[in-house]
Amino acid sequence: MHTQTAESLKALIQERAKEYHALKESEDEWVFETIEQQVIDRIFRYMVSMGVTSNGYDLQKILDAEDDDDDGVPPEGADAALMNLMPPVHPADRDGTQYTPDIMEVWDAFYRAFWPHYFED
């Protein structure tokens, strides 16, 4: 059984996005980037709990790594590898995505909450 549901993860995304945007105006860049990365990690941990695998990557090893030199971390590093595995922001660019619709809903919630500028006209 999964400890996190898609709905609880989307609620967490909304909560952390509010904190992220508030800090983005007043804090050092590393502070709000840390929040963003923590949420991305939570999404990938949810995906692993749902049995998602990724071409040539051991997501669990990447998520559990304490250092980019740890076993199972690709040469580009853990954070960069996860960024590379994120689906495209815009649905029109997602042909051939390997993720299920429920996982894509979580990513959409993240993109709209953290990066709303991609959706402005």
Per-residue pLDDT reduced to its tens digit, 70-93: 999 999 999 999 998 898 888 777
- Per residue, what are the HEC states of the chain? CCCCCHHHHHHHHHHHHHHHHHHHCCCCHHHHHHHHHHHHHHHHHHHHHCCCCECCECHHHHHHCCCCCCCCCCCCCHHHHHHHHCCCCCHHHCCCCCCCHHHHHHHHHHHHHHCHHHHCC
Q: Using CA atoms, how far apart are residues 66 and 81, in angstroms rounded to an integer? A: 14
pTM of the entire predicted model: 0.88
Say if residue 39 is exposed, middle or buried (CB neighbours under 10 Å; 0-12, 13-18, 19+).
buried
- Residue 115's pLDDT band, with cuts at 50, 70 and 90, is very high
Query: Contact, 109 vs 13, CB < 8 A?
Result: yes
Question: Which positions ≥6 away from 102 have C-beta within 8 Å?
Answer: 6
Per-residue pLDDT reduced to its tens digit, 88-113: 888 777 776 678 888 999 999 999 99
Residue where the block lists tokens 């090893």: 61
